[in-house]
Amino acid sequence: MAEAYEPENILVTGGAGFIGSNFAHWVVENQPGVHVTVLDALTYAGNRENLAGIPQDRMDFVHGDICDAPLLDEIFPKVDAVVHFAAESHNDNSIADPAPFVRTNVEGTYCLLEAARKHGVRFHHVSTDEVYGDLALDDPARFTEETPYRPSSPYSSTKASSDMLVRAWHRTYGVRATISNCSNNYGPYQHIEKFIPRQITNVICGIRPKLYGDGLNVRDWIHTEDHSSAVWAILTHGRVGETYLIGADGERSNIDVLHAILEGMGKAADDFDWVRDRPGHDRRYAIDPTKLRRELGWQPKHTDFAEGLAQTIAWYRENEAWWRSVKEAVEAKYAAQGQ
């Protein structure tokens, strides 16, 4: 474990999105001496409401774009570290229109790295396990920090590109950077375009859930609160220049997850529709989190998936006002794609 690094002012990019807002809440609740500045463009995926309840003296909100270099020059002198979540994050959208993915995920990360270099700011880059491509269902292997990059989708290839930029800016310019590649998150504030909240809100709305392909694709689920604590452990105790994989041993097939949602919401196991598969659909993701656990002593808190899922279902039931206004448009977009 590296000597503890103790930032006092952190910039959280994408802090009005799903994982970024959960991280902002986590820092405010668990790190009393730390001030958070959120920078978010409030795209379709960002919602200022996600940050409700955070006291004004603990957080500033800047509505802006990570590609705006003059804006970054104003913000960076006021922070010690940036935790970079901002991205276009949905695979299906990247297949329909990759352009915003290249701009935000690649150019945006480049702009932030240049600002970090210029202002001497520490950089933590939040990335995905998808950069490693996929594994066969019967492969005993899991992804490790040494697995070669083999991204499949426009989304994952832009995230892989951004990881490469971070590595180069560390090696060439000495930017003090760490990278984490995490598996699939679930929990509150996740946009309803994503698998778990889409199916929960479908059931609430009386729409049959939709399963892609043969439903046997495997994702490695982690509660977003555990992602937050892992990112904090890496930022404060990780070794500069290193990559850490984040996962919580949560491999499950999509059909098993859907059955758990249906059961948890009082529906029959066959009360869903099979729909067109995602082009290039990755088969299986699986994270070996040994380095993170051994080196930093990190442990997930949410080890009972059924319980985490029940809490997530309850959150979407209790916060219908948060998602209801976009449901029709999200489903219309999927329907146009045959999904």
Residues that bind ligand NAD (CB under 6 A): 13-14, 16-20, 40-43, 45-46, 65-67, 85-87, 89, 104, 108, 126, 128, 159, 182, 184-185, 191
10 Å CB burial of residue 200 (0-12, 13-18, 19+) is buried
Contact letters (x/-) for ligand DAU, 198-217, by CB under 6 A?
A: x-----------xxx----x
Q: Which is nearer to ligand DAU, 184 or 236 (CB)?
A: 184
Q: Given the residues 65, 114, 129, 134, select the one marked as catalytic.
A: 129
Sequence-separated (6 or more) residues with CB below 8 Å from residue 286 = 135, 141, 142, 143, 183, 218, 220, 247, 251
Known catalytic residue at 285: no
Inter-CA distances, 157 with 98, 119, 136, 143, Å: 10, 28, 20, 17
Alpha carbons 109 and 145: distance in angstroms, whole number: 21
Query: Is residue 90 within the footprint of ligand DAU (CB under 6 A)?
Result: yes
Q: Which is nearer to ligand DAU, 169 or 195 (CB)?
A: 195
Helices (H), 127-243: 154-173, 195-205, 224-237
Question: In the complex, which residue's CB is closest to ligand DAU?
Answer: 128
Query: Is residue 152 within the footprint of ligand DAU (CB under 6 A)?
Result: no
Known catalytic residue at 60: no
Query: Is residue 243 within the footprint of ligand DAU (CB under 6 A)?
Result: no
Minimum Å distance from CB 24 to ligand NAD?
Answer: 11
Q: Which is nearer to ligand NAD, 62 or 267 (CB)?
A: 62
Q: Could you tell me if 7 and 34 are in contact, meaning their C-beta atoms sit under 8 angstroms apart?
A: yes
Q: Judging by DSSP bridges, how do beta strands 35-40 and 9-13 pair with one another?
A: parallel
Q: Which amino acid is at 133?
A: G
Q: Which is nearer to ligand NAD, 260 or 287 (CB)?
A: 287
Give the distance, in angstroms, between the CA of residue 166 and the centroid of all CA atoms in the same chain. Answer: 17
Q: 65, 129, 251, 331: which one contacts ligand DAU (CB under 6 A)?
A: 129
Minimum Å distance from CB 337 to ligand NAD?
Answer: 18
